Structure 1
Amino acid sequence: MLGCVIHGTGDLRVEELPVPRPGPGQALVAVRYGGVCGSDLHYWRHGGVGDFRLREPMVLGHEVVGTVTGYGVRASGPAPGTAVAVHPATPCGGCPECRAGRPNVCRDTRYLGSAARFPHVQGGFAAHVVVPAEQVRALPAGLEPRRAALAEPLSVALHAVRRAGDVRGRHVLVTGAGPIGCLVVAAAKAAGAARVTVTDLVPLALRYATAVGADTAVRADDPADPGWPAEVDVAVEASGVAAGLETCLRRVRRGGVVVQLGMLPPGESPFAGNLLVSREIELRGAFRFGAEFDEALPLLAGRPEFDTLISAVLPVAAAESAFALAADRGRSCKVLLDFTDGAAG
């Protein structure tokens, strides 16, 4: 079968890989679509994401949907032939965080396509993938696989909004209108936010955010933009740059909440820490997700406007072109790889 393997900075290869066989407790999924995530782009462009660095070749990808084709012994789930989405995380279940109901920050988790541990966890950008059977979810009625490929990033957004607390009737600021930022906009509106303002440097990105519910779109580099709010109740930083965090801290009201969702560059990042003190702002991190995955699927089924975020679908053989397109925010939002013809001869 064909798979996308990252070997180092700028070294992405489409290779022939052996078709895996499901072991005890595992499901075999024929992958249909895989969404190119910002972390995949970081591995491709920089050889790592945040503090997680490549140390060996790794199959990328963790936003995958497909069809169950079989199970190993002592495994069960949706019937073979069922369209499914794959929850990419396998928490250990025994650490203090898992026992406290926070498996998304499990200290020994396995996450598809992640270099956070060594040996790395191979990802889902391949024509077939084996995962624990309990991590496959049948798609609800009305949700076709193409849109379902957004389930993983939408889960990240839902978790970030949950970390912000009750946003009903609140004004929410989102800095960064990449795919995750756009989905945070949609998640905040779904959670009852009265108003969502989104900022970005790229006009096309702001149009995508407006399509999924943003009330106001602001050019981040234009201090005279009339859309800038005097203050907001909650801010979610989704750009992954220090300037975005600065904006959140300066725009959120006294006693407000800022959620840092974007992964900042490695090392130290300066921020306006004194504002945390003088305004009693709460700064919270948001990392991945847990049960939100099961909330994302029905939300996607009922919201056809999510389709507008999918800019292009390219075959796996054109993976490098797909990554280049996904990295060009002036031309795309979410780019999918299609593994339909990913069986090697």
Structure 2
Amino acid sequence: MSDQEIKASVLHAVKDLRVESRTLPPRSPEELQIRIASTGLCGSDLHYYTHFRNGDILVREPLSLGHESAGIVVATGSSVSTFQPGDKVALEVGLPCEKCERCREGRYNICKEMKFRSSGKSFPHFQGTLQERINHPAKWCYRLPDEMSLDVGALLEPLGVAVHAFRRSLMPKGANVLVFGAGAVGLLCAAVATIRGSGKVVIADIDAGRLEFAVKNGFAHSSFTVPMRRGKDVDESLAIAKETAGEIGKVDGVGEFDVTFECTGVPSCVQAGIYSVRSGGRLMLVGMGHPVQTLPLAAAALREVDIVGVFRYANTYPESIEIVQQAAKAGIDLTKLVTHRYTGLTAAPEAFQMAGRTKDADGKLVLKVVIDSMNEP
């Protein structure tokens, strides 16, 4: 085996994406070589593209973005017997150390030595999937059912976040659930709760179009349009958050919720999330938002409301594949989340610009943008 030349989309500075040639080294005995056919653009990718950083994580060298991905196996390492060329696979792109205590207890998503494709946290950076081909350990690849498209295969990554959040929520059957945020992850959290036997799922957002999509397509039972209100100080902001939670509780007469999934990271929504949960309930912090927030912790502590963090996922891909199949039987078409598709790495700048919008020029919702890096137009 020899080195191969491939094309890759590479971020050099703010909004500076270039298609470049890159040398792909020979695969190891444990790796698959995969033609990347679908990469969904995530909020973190957009942060890197727009700011050349994600929070306090700085990009320190040219970086290929993309981590929600699926593709086709073109070659297998000598020790791989579970895959063969032509297999459709989804990629789990975070590689933990597999030696630390967190890894040993199955919580490898919070491994301190995690290398995650398209993230600037580790250095040298672990390059993302906006490349024609990559070599990736077979251990972290999952064969897709014949009927599952590669675009849906790429959705298994954000779906994993929703599955992980659901697991940590300890949601009982028949629970009433509130989801703040009707973006892709919020919609997937709502879908998982619906499929897993919730009582009522109410989804809340400032975008009425996204809410209509959620209810019309079975992701949630009901919706609430959050009004754009801001307090002049902390006390007024908390009062507005409490009032908002009360108004949401009137939807379908639910009152308080057993579990709230907060998928925005917006302080006002986190505040309202605390007020929305019943005594002994759980607030799941799924959205990556403001790092420092003012929260009514007494309102949580005095009612024993658990505030639970959610970071990525662990051991979710097999269950996510099952959920996709169950969703189809339940009339929830996850393929509708992919609203815009671009062909070829040269289209990446246009795709990123679209991913930063809520509607396209024709007024169509923008939910999930994917790039097919396998074919050029």
Distance 2:17 2:214 in 1: 30
Q: Between the two structures, name the one with larger relative contact order (CA 8 Å, sep ≥ 6).
A: 1
Which residue of structure 1 aligns with residue 231 of structure 2? none
Deviates more, 1:7-16 or 1:254-263: 7-16
User: What's the TM-score once normalised by structure 1's chain length?
Assistant: 0.93
Residue 300 of structure 1 pairs with residue 328 of structure 2: no
Contact 2:142 2:317 in 1 (8 A): no
Contact 1:27 1:72 in 2 (8 A): yes
Cα distance, 1:125–1:41 mapped onto 2, change above 3 Å: same
SS in 2 for 1:173: strand
Which residue of structure 2 aligns with residue 338 of structure 1? 372
Contact 1:31 1:67 in 2 (8 A): yes
**Aligned counterpart for 2:348 among listed residues 290, 296, 319:** 319
SS in 2 for 1:221: coil
Contact 1:175 1:236 in 2 (8 A): yes
Cα distance, 1:117–1:106 mapped onto 2, change above 3 Å: same
Tell me by how many angstroms 1:164 deviates. Answer: 0.5
Cα distance, 1:206–1:21 mapped onto 2, change above 3 Å: farther
Contact 1:142 1:302 in 2 (8 A): no
Deviates more, 1:280-289 or 1:52-61: 52-61
1:109-120 matched pairs, under 5 angstroms: 109-120=114-125
Which residue of structure 1 aligns with residue 221 of structure 2? 215
Cα distance, 1:164–1:141 mapped onto 2, change above 3 Å: same
Which residue of structure 2 aligns with residue 138 of structure 1? 143
Which residue of structure 2 aligns with residue 289 of structure 1? 313
SS in 1 for 2:255: coil
Tell me by how many angstroms 1:219 deviates. Answer: 0.8
Contact 2:171 2:259 in 1 (8 A): no
Contact 2:11 2:65 in 1 (8 A): yes
Deviates more, 1:270-279 or 1:29-38: 270-279
Q: State the one-letter code of the partner of 2:289.
A: L
Calculate percent identity across the aligned residue pairs.
32
Distance 2:25 2:190 in 1: 38
State the Cα deviation string for residues 76-134 of structure 1 (Å, max 9, x = none): 43111111111112111111101112111111111111112122111111110111111
Distance 1:118 1:186 in 2: 36
Deviates more, 1:39-48 or 1:4-13: 4-13
Tell me by how many angstroms 1:20 deviates. Answer: 4.2
Which residue of structure 1 aligns with residue 275 of structure 2? 250
Structure 2 residues without counterparts, runs of 5 or longer = 1-5, 229-243, 360-364
Distance 1:95 1:270 in 2: 34
Distance 1:152 1:119 in 2: 23
Highest CA radius of gyration, 1 or 2? 2
Residue 85 of structure 1 pairs with residue 90 of structure 2: yes
Cα distance, 1:270–1:338 mapped onto 2, change above 3 Å: same
Which residue of structure 2 aligns with residue 236 of structure 1? 261
Contact 2:115 2:126 in 1 (8 A): yes
Q: State the one-letter code of the partner of 1:214.
A: A
Residue 269 of structure 1 pairs with residue 293 of structure 2: yes
**Aligned counterpart for 2:284 among listed residues 259, 263, 271:** 259
User: What's the TM-score once normalised by structure 2's chain length?
Assistant: 0.86
State the Cα deviation string for residues 212-237 of structure 1 (Å, max 9, x = none): 42111111116567638531110011
**Aligned counterpart for 2:161 among listed residues 142, 156, 161:** 156
SS in 2 for 1:254: strand
Q: State the one-letter code of the partner of 1:185.
A: A
CA RMSD, Structure 1 to Structure 2 (Å): 1.9
Which residue of structure 2 aligns with residue 122 of structure 1? 127
Residue 168 of structure 1 pairs with residue 168 of structure 2: no
Contact 1:28 1:128 in 2 (8 A): yes
Contact 1:204 1:329 in 2 (8 A): no
Distance 1:278 1:8 in 2: 47
Q: State the one-letter code of the partner of 1:341.
A: N
Tell me by how many angstroms 1:4 deviates. Answer: 2.1
Which residue of structure 2 aligns with residue 48 of structure 1? 53
State the Cα deviation string for residues 234-275 of structure 1 (Å, max 9, x = none): 00110121122111101111111001011123x422222221
Contact 2:188 2:219 in 1 (8 A): no
Cα distance, 1:2–1:209 mapped onto 2, change above 3 Å: farther
Cα distance, 1:128–1:220 mapped onto 2, change above 3 Å: same
SS in 1 for 2:177: strand
**Aligned counterpart for 1:107 among listed residues 101, 106, 112:** 112
Cα distance, 1:270–1:301 mapped onto 2, change above 3 Å: same
State the Cα deviation string for residues 119-159 of structure 1 (Å, max 9, x = none): 21111111101111111111124212122221101011110
Which residue of structure 1 aligns with residue 251 of structure 2? 227
Distance 2:129 2:376 in 1: 12
Distance 1:68 1:89 in 2: 19
Structure 1 residues without counterparts, runs of 5 or longer = none
Residue 309 of structure 1 pairs with residue 331 of structure 2: no
SS in 2 for 1:193: coil
